[in-house]
Amino acid sequence: MAQTKTKNFYGWKIVVCCFLISMFAMGIISNTISFYMKPVCETLGCSYVQFSFINVVSCITSMLAAILLAPKIEGGNVRMIMLVSAAAAGLGFGLQGMATHIWHLYVLFGITNLGIGGLTSLPINYLITNWFKDKKGLATSLAFSGAGIGGIFWSPAVSAMIGKLGWRNSLFLSGAAVVIVSVLACLFIRKTPAEMGQEPYTNRDSQPKETQKTVRVPAWEGVTRKTAVASPAFWVFVLSLICMGMLAAGVMTQVPTYFSEIGLSYAGIMALFSGVSILGNILGGMIFDKLGLMGGMAFTCICNALALVCLLISGKNTFFAYLFAAAIGMGMVISMLGPPLMTSGLFGTKEYARIYSISNAFFLAGCMIGPMLSSGLRTATGSYTAAWSVYIAISICCFVFAFLAHGLSRSFKNKGYTDNI
């Protein structure tokens, strides 16, 4: 049996490559697109609402990319798919600098996010699942922490470029950076440990010692997408995913406005959130590895519920606003780790990419619903009090649905589902 716990384990190089991809592709495209709103609208004569429609385009194209590419990622050349996607993402983003009408941005940002869909979330989670049996949470956290770290660097850099070079040149340079670094990182990607003569990373200290009398039972690989989608476990899991998406997008998009309404300066609070988020992205994976799937879900959901309680009373004492930032920074790691780890934990790795692509679509649906729910409740009631109260309930439901789905999924292993018939 190949040694998996070694300094030369290639899986950690995969993590470094994924870190660089998330730092440049996600760090630039996801974190800085809002910086272009004002200058683009002034140049093209469009409204903020028209510009913001690119967020809808982003969600829809990301869903389509994941669903369409999942079978090809499982059965094809992952490295080639990621290389082509890196080129599409970077070129699509950069060429927006040539736009003369708002619909040009919609088309090009759609191409950009088709590339992002084939470069980041789905393939990175698929690679981590292939390369790691243990330490999967830590590996996932490290791979995606590049997006947060990249955001800290790229936010002031892009702001400066827009001011000095103009928004068109800023887009050209940003797109070029995405293409160059992402393509170089993709060249070192390997789909499975077998390609390097290795096995998935396993913490051997946690494995039972084999003896001559030990009867080795084949490891459970998981179920097919058809079996998963036909099960009650999947649809209960979907409810949890929608809650995760609503939490991920429905709270932080409204917080600056809320703090302005209650008279708090949010610059320092948001800076604390950014710092804790980066730490949370790394520690979150370790927490999931240490406490297990349900332990990690419980921890993050409790952090989110506590944060929202603090948000409700932050108008009375600024201390609670900072406590909110710290708690939500740890709790929001659920949006990064929850969908991929729950997918593999409930349904195995047999057709992971195909199942995850469907799961992620429901998560993104929650991301679209969240901001509309928050702003809708604010408009209907005149304050955010009702919205934060609803999100406390959503945090609790997120864990409850995950817990129920986890229990229902045990029937796959108990009944010996392998889908090899």
Per-residue model confidence as pLDDT tens for the chain (421 residues): 444 555 689 999 999 999 999 999 998 988 788 788 888 888 999 887 788 788 788 888 888 888 888 888 888 899 999 999 999 999 999 999 999 999 999 999 999 999 998 999 889 999 999 999 888 889 998 998 888 888 778 878 888 899 999 999 999 999 999 999 999 999 999 999 999 999 998 876 555 544 444 445 556 788 899 999 999 999 999 999 999 999 988 888 788 778 878 888 777 787 788 788 888 888 888 899 899 999 999 999 999 999 999 999 988 788 999 999 999 989 988 888 899 999 999 998 888 889 998 998 899 889 888 888 888 898 889 888 999 999 999 999 999 999 999 999 988 876 655 443 3
pTM for this entry: 0.79
> What was the pLDDT predicted at 1?
41
Please tell me the distance from the alpha carbon of residue 327 to that of residue 319, in angstroms, as a whole number. Answer: 12
Contact present, 324 and 309 (Cβ < 8 Å): no
Rounded (5°) CA angle 10-204-146:
40
Please tell me the distance from the alpha carbon of residue 222 to that of residue 348, in angstroms, as a whole number. Answer: 4
φ, ψ of residue 314 in degrees (nearest 5): -65, -20
> What was the pLDDT predicted at 16?
96
Cβ neighbours of residue 323 closer than 8 Å, sequence gap 6 or more? 307, 310
What is the sign, positive or negative, of the torsion defined by CA atoms of 354, 370, 388, 234? negative
> What was the pLDDT predicted at 4?
52
> What was the pLDDT predicted at 132?
92
What is the sign, positive or negative, of the torsion defined by CA atoms of 104, 105, 110, 114? positive
Q: Which residue has the tokens 């990373």?
A: 201
